[in-house]
Copies of this chain bind each other. A is one copy, B any other.
């Protein structure tokens, strides 16, 4: 299978155009003697809905207006304009920074112009960036704001990284023990070519990923192995979505505990916090490969591998049983009830107990038998 994934860059020109139109609209308001304003979608919990048909969390239709001539909003409105102007300059200069870098630029420039130090806390600027993302229908990555990067990939795929004045080709099958570090932004200036793999295996823990990498698992199986290294970053979730778009099945291999389930459902359905970009980072096609409590019936040694579930695990299992998009799956109900009843859990690391290479055998068996939870 050879798939060429298009570079889904919203070109800098397109981003600058949206920022320009955003500003032009504000200027129009001022010229016609109205309060400058723009519209955004409500991002609070009350407007986060589960899209049953498509299987992910997204924002509903509630809109709210941000307007300048309003005591409660004037300050924030002005800050949002400053953020838009800064991002415009970043995109035009083709330079990136973190939201912390943006915060300090604002702290300096606003502080100088108008005495009062408008951005004392970064917590003030973060929701305004989200306002802009929603209002412009862009991701912050398109605005040249990097999010935290995390996660690694190995497998038969090449990455074309247009970086500075070079166009580098990185072969993810030749990165040795380290793998390819997944960047903050996998859309702009990054292309994935020659994806030769049958499926994608997402492995919660880096240590377990390293074990599989050392065994050459991805080579033997012709798979792509990804570790989010715990909770998946925006970049890693977006990459998983893109690989699913390329037609690859996505199997997620996590601990059987509160944290492992949470990581899985975040990859699959997205999260409340990022519901505003649910469409581009959720992967409803993902399947849960394991570890499951039901595995104990198949692998006798796992009986000895259980460890005590703590209150968080049990509480989380109870909560999950209450979600309609989870409790409609019988297998998940069985699974979660086992944790609640036995008050025990399993870690993926325990699959190394009989022999270090058993992890790979376990995954192979599951994939062969299509033995997944939905």
Residue from the list B98, B164, B183, B349 in contact with A101, Cβ < 8 A: B349
A350 at the binding interface (Cβ < 8 Å):
yes
A74 at the binding interface (Cβ < 8 Å):
no
Contact mask for chain A residues 192-223; partner B; CB cutoff 8 A; 1 contact, 0 none: 00000000000000110011001110000000
Closest to A176 in B: B161
Contact A356 B90 (CB under 8 A): yes
Bound Cα distance A263, B159 (Å): 33
Residue from the list B304, B349, B357 in contact with A112, Cβ < 8 A: B304
Interface size class, chain A: 35 or more
A301 at the binding interface (Cβ < 8 Å):
yes
> Do A149 and B206 contact each other (CB < 8 Å), given the known contacts A105-B353, A168-B176, A183-B177?
yes
Contact B175 A170 (CB under 8 A): yes
Contact A104 B356 (CB under 8 A): no
A264 at the binding interface (Cβ < 8 Å):
no
Contact B305 A350 (CB under 8 A): no
Closest to A162 in B: B176
Contact B214 A107 (CB under 8 A): no
Contact A104 B211 (CB under 8 A): no
> Do A214 and B175 contact each other (CB < 8 Å), given the known contacts A104-B305, A181-B181?
no
A95 at the binding interface (Cβ < 8 Å):
yes
For A349, list chain B residues within 8 Å (CB). 98, 100-101, 103-104
Bound Cα distance A215, B117 (Å): 29
A108 at the binding interface (Cβ < 8 Å):
yes
A280 at the binding interface (Cβ < 8 Å):
no
Closest to A163 in B: B176
> Do A301 and B108 contact each other (CB < 8 Å), given the known contacts A164-B216, A211-B97?
yes
Contact B177 A178 (CB under 8 A): no
> 23 pairs across A/B with beta carbons < 8 Å?
A95-B357, A96-B210, A96-B211, A96-B214, A97-B352, A98-B207, A98-B349, A101-B207, A104-B349, A104-B350, A104-B353, A108-B305, A108-B354, A109-B353, A146-B210, A152-B181, A159-B176, A161-B178, A163-B176, A163-B177, A163-B214, A168-B175, A184-B210
Q: Which 5 A-B pairs have the closest CB atoms?
A: A161-B176, A98-B207, A108-B353, A178-B181, A163-B176
